[in-house]
Structures are given as C-alpha cells and as structure tokens.
Amino acid sequence: MNGLNVVVLSGNIATDLELTYTNNDKAKCTFTLAVNRNYKGQQQTEFVPITTFKGTAKAVVDNLQKGSPIELLGSINVYNYEDDEGNQKQWISVIGRNINFLPQRDGGEQTPEPDKEPEPTSDEEEIPF
C-alpha cells in the first residue's frame, strides 16, 4: 500500500532565511515557520523547520524575510544520523514544494509592488539528495 506524505502549513517565517548550495550546486533555503494551533482552548505556537530547494529556494530568498506570512505545501523528511558519541538521532524537517506568499496583516514591510505580484512557487523535480 502506498502511503501519503503531505503537509499543509500556514504561518510566519520566524528566523532569518539561510541560503546555501548543495554539492550539486542546487539552491537550498532553510528557515523556521511559526504556526499557531489551539490546544485545550489555548493558542500555542509550533516552530517547524522548513527546507526548500532550487527555484523555490531562490524565490523565497528574493521575496520574503523574517516575519513574512506564507502558506506551504510540502512533505515530511526524516534524516537519520549518528552523533559524536555514537547515538542514533533523527532530525525532522518539512520540504516546502509549493509556497504562496501572503500579504502582511499588520502593516509590515512585505507588500508586492503594484505591477509585480509574487507568483506561487513550485519545484516539481526531485529533491537533490
């Protein structure tokens, strides 16, 4: 049976955007997304690590910043590794494939120019690893 690995999130970018390049010279952008949820009648904020690649990574860096609101469609990726002491560890990140840039709600700086509205971004190719 095939599984389904789809994540839909809406929130604000909580950290500075970090643009790096893979060994294959593919753009990679990492950041944390703050996502609110209600738990037992109280609002809680979850901080979700996000990774984007290629054109999506470049579009995020060119158009967004810390505090920018976005909607994201992606998948969960689990990285298994061994720490310096030989312990097995896991790191879970969401791979952002489609990102919609949302307008600021409280008069923040991120507003598209009148003639240049950001397009939703998507990388349909394979993740470069």
40 backbone φψ class: left, alpha, beta (φ>0; ψ -120 to 50): left
**What CATH number corresponds to the domain at position 86?**
2.40.50.140
Tell me the pLDDT tens digit for each residue of 21-69. 999 999 999 999 999 999 899 999 999 999 999 999 999 999 999 999 9
DSSP 62: H
How many distinct structural domains can be found in the chain?
A: 1
Tell me the pLDDT tens digit for each residue of 80-128. 999 999 999 999 999 999 999 999 876 555 444 434 444 555 555 555 5
Token duo for residue 99: 């990102």
1 within domain boundaries: no
Model pTM?
0.77
What percent of the chain has pLDDT above 70?
81
Query: pLDDT value at position 104?
Result: 83
Token duo for residue 33: 């997304």
Show the domain range for 91.
7-122
129 within domain boundaries: no
Query: pLDDT value at position 2?
Result: 84
Query: pLDDT value at position 128?
Result: 52
